[in-house]
Structure 1
Amino acid sequence: MIPTMIGLVAAVLAAGPPGGYGDGGGRGEPESKLTVSYMADAGFASAVKLECGPAGGGHPRAAAACAELTAVGGDLDKIEPAHTACILIYQPVTAEVTGEWRGTTVQWKHRYGNSCEMRRALGALVAF
């Protein structure tokens, strides 16, 4: 009886955890880990972790943000701005994205005239 149980336990352990975690089919380790942040000259700031492949990390719209980055190959300067109007009040804000995107180090920073311009330019990335 004991040799049968030992054999059964060994077979289960050899099969790996349920849900395909070991073969990339489950949660596993994300292929991209980024920190998306912004700071306004007025003194307020915000930051959030974003993971892609699979999407997660605390970003409230992680799937949309990852899809946006995937569409531009991780090049934030290629994101197509939304067609929305912004007020012309100068309240500067600096957006920053750092971390790793699919094996490439990301160190990106851009200053916008106000938070509306930042949101228009970066879409789901700064939807927090």
Structure 2
Amino acid sequence: MVALMPAAPPGAETSLRLSVTHPGGGTSGSRTVTLRCGPPGGEHPEAARACLELEGSGGRFEHRPDGRMCTAVHAPVVARAEGRWKGRPARFQAEYGNDCVMLSRTGTVFAF
């Protein structure tokens, strides 16, 4: 879920700390990057595209599945975001059955 405050003035700062964690099993570990928008930057490998996707969704991190076919292999992954979206506090956390399902629901934002 994302929690956003009232609209911020145009050009307000966007800086998000994004993490992907694989709890337990043989895929345990965590990756973390910073995403900045306006202009796109930070450590995210596809910052410009991730910023465009967030802009298009009004700052929502999750959307309907994109239609890709994912296996039913259970390898839990937790996606988290915390920071500011256009100057407003933003926080998101969700657990998915595997990386494919996560990417289907979050697009490029958590693709790092």
After TM superposition, the score normalised by the length of structure 2 is 0.82
Query: Please, which runs of 5 or more residues in structure 1 have no aligned partner?
Result: 1-28
Greater RCO, 1 or 2 (C-alpha within 8 Å, sep 6+): 2
The structure in which a higher percent of residues are helix is 1
The match for 1:31 is 13
- Structure of greater Rg: 1
After TM superposition, the score normalised by the length of structure 1 is 0.72
Offset at 1:61? 0.2
Offset at 1:30? 7.4
Q: Distance in 2 between matches of 1:80 and 1:67?
A: 17
Aligned match of 1:68 in 43, 50, 53? 53
Cα RMSD for the two superposed structures:
1.6
Q: Distance in 2 between matches of 1:45 and 1:30?
A: 29
Query: Please, which runs of 5 or more residues in structure 2 have no aligned partner?
Result: 1-10
Percent identical across equivalent pairs?
A: 36
Q: Distance in 2 between matches of 1:69 and 1:80?
A: 14
The structure in which a higher percent of residues are strand is 2
Aligned match of 1:121 in 82, 105, 108? 105
> Runs of 4 or more off by more than 2 Å in structure 1?
none
Aligned pairs, how many? 99
1:55 pairs with 2:65: no
